[in-house]
Structure 1
Amino acid sequence: MTGSILITGCSSGIGLDAARTLTSRGWTVIASCRNPDDTARLRAEGLNSVTLDYADPGSVESGLTEALDLTGGRLDALFNNGAYAIPCAVEDLPRDALKELFEANLFGWHDLTRRVIPVMRSQGSGRIVNCSSVLGLIPVKWRGAYVASKFALEGLTDVMRMELAEDTSIHVSLIEPGPIGTKFRANAAKAFERWIDWERSPRAAQYRDSLIPRLYSDRPDKLQLGPEAVTAKLISALETPRPKPRYYVTTPTYMAGAMRRVLSTRAMDRVLMRR
């Protein structure tokens, strides 16, 4: 099976690898980016690319319209991808920071998906794949905002999958990566610098001794995989006749899924608080 697919967050990392690989497999790929300069760069590479910023409803609408113009009005698949983190203690997370993160990590995804579903309904089929995270399965200290957005995405996607299964042939899947070698940490550092006044926090010593050295380290995680590992799962979700509801990527994600099944909340807290 191949067809047309809109992939978001394609400036680098997971989205870019998916766009290139699916194009090579015969898919008609529309690769979207938040920044117009990245859109131009992808077009120069030979990819179909549109500008789409999840945090801007007008951009979501215009980006999808342009994508549908490129595919003749049909869209066989949507891969929602592209999110960021604001590393900090929950008590130091400003309200406006959390609101802005949810616009990009959840509300924009929901807006785009709602606009795509009528297209898939009218054509009688479709695939919706949402890129979640290992942190959509388990909580980790210092990642409260990101964990909250991914827990919300998991729940919203699960309900949507059940509802669409009742009266459509639209299949909905989650991909749960982590850790993957991308610019995620560098982008998180920028958000941290923008929003978090860590030196005034009662946890300043913990920031200095624990979070900041890890945040600015260029050392890759020992269990990290490349973006192509996510693309392999995406291909399965798109091309198999009966896609799975969830696709785990990387050893930590499989371990997190197992922990959630077998450990009590307190036992899991004890394990995760050692990180």
Structure 2
Amino acid sequence: MKSILITGCSSGIGLDAAQTLKAAGWRVFASCRQQADCDRLAAMGFESPRLDYTDPASIDAALAEVLEATGGRLDALFNNGAHSLSGLVEDLPTDGLRAIFEANFFGWHELTRRVVPVMRAQGHGHIVQCSSALGLGFMRFRGAYAATKHALEALTDTLRLELRDSGIKVVLIEPGPITTKFRRNGVAWFERYIDWKASARRDLYETGLVPRLYAETETKDQFELPASAVSERLLKILQSDHPKPRHYVTTATWITGILMRLLPTRVVDRIIDRI
């Protein structure tokens, strides 16, 4: 039975990926940041180590638990757990930027570095990084999140090149809008770090971001797909000995990729400014 460690499995993309891979016959280690979520997944039949990207000790302990259970092998890693921090860049405190980089970038790097020697020793493995359409482009209020994903794209591209002859496949999945609790889960980070009422652009928050964040019902974005769209792509990647380096999921990602590569920056600015 092939094994995979998936992060951020409390809901959304991570949970759906865990369920999909388990149904396909994989031994799934579905990790979560909070122990209560790990306990809930364990009740669902998953092996669920606690892994918090901002806590290096938990990364060590989770990977050690996985390797002990598998006899030291790991066929795949799906880095997925992340959070948002919405707000204008001028209102973004540096501590907030540090916090989102710890969770969305540095922790991913810490775990990946520990997995690479395991996969190198066994001569194979897949490392799949869940990026975003915002790893290709940008959008108002999403500067912090986009910065982490742009950094992830660059680091992953370099890692793929460096591991080219190792038997380890390094792949990016780039979803656009996916039906998850991601926006709702980002409210706590927004309230912690963004003093929007004191912003010079308070009007933008009042007419744009705040109503969207605090809407009682989730509104679907254009081109939004269910989390299963990502899981289906993940399974295809893991079944391939020669997966493509990057995989766009949703029409929005394709549009973003095309805009960024073909149009002048000022034209792209005008288009995105109308979104």
Query: 1:1-275 alignment to 2 at 5 Å?
Result: 3-165=2-164, 167-217=165-215, 218-275=218-275
**RMSD between aligned residues:** 0.9
Tell me how far apart the structure 2 counterparts of residues 69 and 30 of structure 1 sit (CA, whole Å). 12
> What's the TM-score once normalised by structure 1's chain length?
0.97
Give the counterpart letter for 2:124 in structure 1. S
Give the counterpart letter for 1:189 in structure 2. V
Tell me how far apart the structure 1 counterparts of residues 176 and 183 of structure 2 sit (CA, whole Å). 12
> What's the TM-score once normalised by structure 2's chain length?
0.97
CA contact (8 A) 1:28 1:71 kept: no
CA contact (8 A) 1:89 1:143 kept: yes
CA contact (8 A) 1:7 1:32 kept: yes
Give the counterpart letter for 2:191 in structure 1. E
**C-alpha displacement of 1:194:** 1.2
Deviates more, 1:240-249 or 1:105-114: 240-249
CA contact (8 A) 1:121 1:168 kept: yes
Give the counterpart letter for 1:139 in structure 2. F
For the residue of structure 1 that corresponds to 2:63, the secondary structure is helix
**C-alpha displacement of 1:206:** 1.0
Structure 1 vs Structure 2: percent identity of aligned residues?
A: 57
Tell me how far apart the structure 2 counterparts of residues 253 and 112 of structure 1 sit (CA, whole Å). 26
For the residue of structure 1 that corresponds to 2:225, the secondary structure is coil
In structure 2, the gaps of 5 or more residues are none
Give the counterpart letter for 1:221 in structure 2. D
**C-alpha displacement of 1:92:** 0.4
CA contact (8 A) 1:5 1:75 kept: yes
Give the counterpart letter for 2:274 in structure 1. R
Tell me how far apart the structure 1 counterparts of residues 234 and 89 of structure 2 sit (CA, whole Å). 32
What are the Cα deviations for residues 178-217 of structure 1, in whole angstroms up to 9, with x where unaligned?
2001110001112111111111110111111111112223
Tell me how far apart the structure 2 counterparts of residues 145 and 212 of structure 1 sit (CA, whole Å). 17
Tell me how far apart the structure 1 counterparts of residues 70 and 96 of structure 2 sit (CA, whole Å). 36
How many residue pairs get matched? 273
Tell me how far apart the structure 2 counterparts of residues 206 and 137 of structure 1 sit (CA, whole Å). 24
